[in-house]
Structure 1
Amino acid sequence: MKVRELRGHADALGFTPQEQVRWLAPRELARTAVKVVLAAVFAGYADKREFQGVLEAGLLEAPPGRPEARELWFDFVADLGDGFDATGSVAWALAEEELAVHGAAGPDANDANGPDGRNGTDGTDGGTPGARPGDVPLRLPRGSLLVLGGDEVYPTASAQGYEDRLKGPYRAALPSAPDPPLLVALPGNHDWYDGLTAFLRMFTQQRPIGGWQTRQSRSYFCVRLPERWWLVGLDSQLGSYFDDPQLRYFQEHLSANLEPGDGVIVCSAEPTWLESADRNPDAFNALHWFDRNVVRHHLDRETGERRPTHASVRLWLTGDRHHYARYAELLPDEPPDAPAGAPDPARRQLVTCGLGGAYLAATHRLPTVLPLPPHGSRLRDKDDPPVEFARMATTYPDAAESRRLARGIAVPWSGRWLPWRNAGFAPLAAGVHAVLFLLASLLFALSEGVTRPVDAVRRSGLDDFWGFAAVCLGVAGGLLLLGFLGRLLRRRKASAPSRAGVAALAQAAVTLAALAVTVALPFPASWPGWAVLLVCLAAAALFGAVVGSGVFALWVLSVRGGVAAEWQMSGQSIEDHKGFLRLHIAPGGDLTVHPLALATICRDWELREDPTGGRSSVRTAGGTPAPRRLVPAKRPVPAEVPTVRLIEPPFVISRGA
């Protein structure tokens, strides 16, 4: 069954499967903008983290009920509550009792795929689509702990949104489990858009989500893992700071229990190490302060004594950016390219993996080296010397694929052209250009010495129009140049012309082109003025919907930084290329990270018996709950069953620094 068919079974499923969010659709843009403004107000005046200080909160254990365990498999997934096909495919992979994982995902990982990247009727060895002959898969058991790394719902948080985009798909993937894995979650910016209300109701009431069991009572958590590992989830409240109740919690449950040689895994909602290299050198300060003052040192609040713990953060995990990228610590006296050829468990790692369900993000502009704290940071002199991290060669998608995919927003035949993927964008562009056409035709009429735009269109020729167009574009270009010079003088360094100004100039050119077409049309003298006006407005609207949208898409593709550059991928809402991390703590203390990818997601589902014998919300004709789960449909040729592959070979992190 496709998503549309599943929506017809919403009452039986207990949720309504949703389509992927279209981020540049006008309705979505307006709704999200309102929520962002309200979230900023909540963050400043109604911070729910302060209220959480009155709630009892203790240390969690994983595996649940087995404090003596010396081994643990667990999963990390982030940015997951989007369209059902993408979110459900990842949930299905997480829920499998044993997951078959094939070799590293590279340029040849989809040899059996068609030109659109979806599995075809391959003709490999008759096995799993996308698997190469001789590829013996790894068998990885299901995790006993599931970590949700932020942005558990899109586009904005609400009780119904969590039900339809997160809880429902995960419950359908794993209705129950005989030994329920622990589930912990930290909020991202989209979870904060309602002031954290729905997040707290979903994850801090100790209620199950399908076969997973929640235990945390606040928007942050600390989990004791086997072999002296610790898992920390931080709530930085839209990237601002750590509240005092949260710091007290970690000082009591983490710092006070750390021993020399302990390893800490820190999960944060944003890769602030990347933001610090981009436009805000102080973005990483909060995480750096937490490392220095909570992990590496313990403050006794009663005595004021500050002692070193001799523990260290070994792995930083985050989502927020919807790709996979890893930065490895440069050990002293190493060149930046050393980690790629010399993996060393002693290195600390920074890993971004936001592939849980939301649109795919680009990787081709990631920095190659990150100094932390970066140059210009207020905390730069706190560590001597500052540590540098080098980007590993493997990203997902890789740089070449990232560039190719980004171009799709401006290519009409790609299937991901901006107007095709964002309902309402073309009508909005048509309306805007119709209004601009009226203004431009009025100015043209005044320049021709008439008062009615219709008369100017009828009586003038192209020779008259070209002079008018040159003056208009000259004035607009002059204003753009003046704005550029003003910023140049204020900043006293090179500055690019205003992005908004360039976009406005391009759209003005489209409007003038529509006006030129109407001037060139041979309107019969017998036509009334209103008929001429309707034809002109229709031509302007058509130009705006097609040409205006295309020009805007080209402008988006040309931008190299800022929010507009992110539209290159978010405007396409790419559903394929999803993934998560499966981690393993082995006896002895080594941590192995398996970065996993689903190059294509499932788009055809079926209800199947739940092998665990659990009860889902699906009901039989007699009204009795039936043990069923939603899984990828198996047909004579299983073209829709996702193949799980390694993004890069598993890497090992030792517990001790």
Structure 2
Amino acid sequence: MTDAPSARDLHAPADMVRWYAPVQLLQTAGRVAVSTLLGDQLDRRILRPAPSHEPTDFSHREQLVLDFVSDSGDGWNPTYAVAYWATRPILRVHGVHGRAYELPRAGVLVFGGDQVYPTPSRAAYEQRLVLPYECAFDRSEPPHPVLFAVPGNHDWYDSLATFTKLFLDKQWFCGWQVHQRASYFAARLPHDWWLVGVDVQLGSDIDANQVEYFRGLAARMGPRAKIILCTAEPHWVRTHELRDRGARTRRARDGNLAFLQDHVFGRRIRVFLSGDLHHYRRHATADGQIQKITAGGGGAFLHPTHVLRDDPLAGGYGLRCAFPDRRASRRLAWRNLAFPLQNPGFGAVTGLLYLMIGWNVHAALGDYPAAAFLPALSDMLSATLRSPWAATWVLLTAAGFVAFTDARRRRLRVLAGLVHTGAHLLAALAVTWLGGQLGRALALEWGSAAQTALGLAALLGAGWLVGAAIFGAYLLVAVNVFGRHGNEAFSSLRIQDFKHFLRLHIRRDGALVIYAIGLPRVPRRWRTMVGADPGEPKVVPDDPHPDTLPRLIEPPIVVGPG
């Protein structure tokens, strides 16, 4: 079968989010605007009392296996691929040197943020997160694994209302027991390891209840305590990328999250885990005893790795591994040349823009544009300035592209926005000229219904295709030449592959071993298992491609003991 099945409707899997579909753009922009403007007033953490219960205690166990999965809940293929492999009783993977590993299923699952895309709702969580994990691992016989979840910015777009109902007000998530009752959590692990999950809301902000909770937790930790800290954003990457921007860097470093790290937990934090950026990148100290890992490969579209700096972070944390590597990431960006095919609906935006500019220029010309293009271009530019509506559309377009441009300096933003606008204006006028020449060739009278309809149809159709192509070319140049617009250039591609998750094993000797498990390609075909037993997957991969099998991204990372 070619369609990816789900538990309740075997023929309606979730597709990857189409970020550039016009309706989706408006919906997402509206949610983001409301949450940004009213985020502080609708902070659900303030309304919900601080948890009074004891942290979940696993310290009596000799060893523990824990999975970290972040940025899931997008298309069926990548989300279910991660869920399927993470829930196998024994996961068999090959390392970079051919060595085989057999890893037991995790007793703890941590969702690291952004559990659903594009915006949270009950239906979105059900289709994009609950159903894949329900198909992979529903309730089975005890012992039951435990789940914790850190909310990301996409979970916060409804002020955490749906996240609260799904993870905080219930005792079960599919086959996992839910132990947390706040948007942040802590668990005591074997051999003086601790698991801490922090909720940074939308502005890297930690509320007072949360700070006090973690202060009390830190006071109870012994001198040999070692912390695995889970946050929804890799603040070490953000700070590093902003380090040449003065005040902005200082604000990023002086926030409550930095206070929690520097003054509450301090050097006890041995492993930093985060998602938000949908790729794998690991930084570490020279001795490897403090790790900072970005692992946002749970199901969302791929983010590039080649746009980020590869020099050491503050404190001497060097870049140890990236997945995909810089060369593969740069190569994938070239797919933006097919932007109109990847995002067919976006052409409606550029088509309407070209139509409005060309229509008003058409009305102001009064006759066919000159047969030669350059003289005609001068006439059409003059007509644009004479037409208040055409000039207004051009100015609005320029303002929009300047605001959209991702540049470090204001002058560069203005320059790039105007160049982008100029490319679209030139294309719109060229289409207007071509429409006029076609009308002349067909002996249509200027201003007649037939000639006007032909010109407008040409503007809409060419604007749909050419405008989207110019936009894609802009994203390609921005991401591959200037290292900007990484999010916009790769959300357009909706790349399903290069997914991953982390499996952390606290061994009997107290050492922590981190396995970064990668899926270079996620399956495109699935087979339904009719009458599957409880706890068994309802759907299994049916794709023979060898890259769909899990493998280690890099050799196992050992932290500790001691």
TM-score of the aligned structures, taking structure 1 as reference length: 0.76
Q: Select which of 286, 291, 299 maps to 1:349.
A: 291
Matched residue, 1:205:
169
Distance in 2 (CA, whole Å) between partners of 1:31 and 1:223 is: 37
* 1:291 correspondence with 2:261: yes
| Alpha-carbon distance in structure 1 between the residues aligned to 2:296 and 2:325 | 15
Aligned pairs for 1:592-611 within 5 A: 592-608=513-529
Pick aligned residue for 1:426 from 317, 323, 347: 347
2:552 equivalent to 1:632: no
Counterpart-to-counterpart distance in 1, 2:127 and 2:397: 46
Q: Deviations over 1:464-496 (max 9, x none)?
A: 4143257689999999999xxxxxxxx999745
Task: Select which of 29, 54, 57 maps to 1:33.
Answer: 29
**Is 1:652 the counterpart of 2:561 in the alignment?**
no
User: Which secondary structure does the structure 1 equivalent of 2:300 belong to?
Assistant: coil
State the aligned residue count: 538
Alignment map for 1:469-484 (pairs within 5 Å): none
Post-superposition CA distance 1:87-115 (Å, at most 9, x none)? 0000001111011111239xxxxxxxxxx
1:391 paired with 2:391, answer no
Are residue 78 (structure 1) and residue 70 (structure 2) matched? yes
Cα distance between partner residues in 2 of 1:492 and 1:21? 31
Maintained 8 Å contact 1:186/1:269: yes
Contact 1:81–1:166, Cα closer than 8 Å, also in 2? yes
- Larger mean CA deviation between 44-53 and 491-500 belongs to 491-500
CA deviations on 1:17-69 (whole Å, 9 max, x unpaired) are 3111011111111111001012123412121001222554431123xxxx421
Structure 2 counterparts to residues 335-484 of structure 1, below 5 A = 339=286, 344-346=287-289, 348-372=290-314, 387-392=315-320, 394-410=321-337, 417-443=338-364, 445=365, 450=366, 456-457=367-368, 462=373, 464-468=375-379
Structure 1 partner of 2:534 = 614
| Pairwise CA distance, 1:463 | 6.4
TM-aligned CA deviation for residue 150 of structure 1: 0.1
Alpha-carbon distance in structure 2 between the residues aligned to 1:459 and 1:366: 48
- Give the direction of change, closer, same or farther, for the CA distance of 1:609–1:462 in structure 2 (3 Å limit): closer
- Bigger drift between 559-568 and 255-264 goes to 559-568
Q: Kindly tell me: are residues 395 and 533 of structure 1, through their superposed partners in 2, closer, same or farther at Cα, counting changes over 3 Å?
A: same
User: Shift in Å at residue 536 of structure 1?
Assistant: 0.7
Letter of the aligned partner of 2:549 in structure 1?
T
The one-letter code sitting in structure 1 at the alignment partner of 2:86 is L
Is this contact kept in 2: 1:262–1:655, CA < 8 A?
no
Deviations 1:254-281 (A, max 9, x none): 2122111211111110111111122341
Supply the distance in 1 between the matched residues of 2:505 and 2:50 (Cα, whole angstroms): 35
SS state at 1:553 partner:
helix
Equivalent residue letter for 1:249: Y
Q: What pairs with 1:88-107 in structure 2 (closer than 5 Å)? A: 88-104=80-96
**Relative to structure 1, is the Cα distance of residues 473 and 506 closer, same or farther in structure 2, using a 3 angstrom cutoff?**
farther
TM-score normalised according to structure 2 size:
0.88
Q: State the partner residue of 2:402.
A: none
Confirm or deny: 8 A CA contact 2:307 2:484 kept in the other structure: no
Q: Is 1:503 matched up with 2:441?
A: no
> 1:310-329 alignment to 2 at 5 Å?
312-329=268-285
Instruction: Give the alignment partner of residue 209 of structure 2, picking from 226, 245, 250.
Output: 245
Which one of 485, 498, 511 corresponds to residue 577 of structure 1? 498
Quote the residue 1:143 is aligned against: 106
User: How far does residue 73 in structure 1 lie from its aligned partner after superposition?
Assistant: 1.0
AA at the equivalent of 2:252: A
- Deviation track 1:190-240 (CA, whole Å, cap 9, x = no partner) reads 000000000011111243222211110010000111010001100011133
Match of 1:190 among 138, 143, 154: 154
Contact kept? 2:311, 2:319, Cα under 8 Å: yes
On the 8 A contact 2:444/2:451 being kept in 1, the answer is no
| d(CA) in 1 for partners of 2:541, 2:546 | 7
For residue 351 of structure 1, what is the amino acid of its counterpart? I
The 2-side partners of 1:352 and 1:423 are apart by 32
Structure 1 pair 462/562, CA: closer, same or farther in 2 (3 Å)?
closer
Q: Tell me the alpha carbon deviations over residues 419-460 of structure 1, each in whole angstroms, 9 at most, x when there is no partner.
A: 2222411233222211111122234x1xxxx4xxxxx12786
Structure 1 residue identity aligned to 2:424: Q
Larger Rg: 1
- Counterpart Cα distance in 2 of 1:46 and 1:602: 40
